[in-house]
Structure 1
Amino acid sequence: MNEKIYVVKASGDKELFNKFKIISSLVRAGTPIDIAEEVADEVEEKVY
């Protein structure tokens, strides 16, 4: 994964894709850590 992927935030700002932010957000929303990691892995596969 050498390619840099940027995401556009709700504010319109762009930042580098960060799988761990997805995990953190899902866990804060009540998702079990194992499920949050699976979801983040799937998103990462589709992005890259």
Structure 2
Amino acid sequence: MSHDTYELKAEAREQVGKGSARAVRRNGKVPAVIYGDKQPPLAIALNYKDVY
């Protein structure tokens, strides 16, 4: 079984919700949320070209 690992540059987002996610998309980024490891969710923005 092969496992690939990818590294993406992300920036933390201060605001969450539909309106702020739309603003992130208008700036050419992809809104995302990191969940897990018994930590609070972390809202981030990824560069569109890095994701697609």
Give the number of the structure whose residues are more often strand, by fraction: 2
Give the number of the structure whose residues are more often helix, by fraction: 1
Higher RCO, 1 vs 2 (CA within 8 Å, ≥6 residues apart): 2
Higher-Rg member (1/2): 2
Give the TM bin, normalised by the shorter chain.
0.3 to 0.5
Q: TM-score, normalised by structure 2?
A: 0.30
Q: TM-score, normalised by structure 1?
A: 0.32
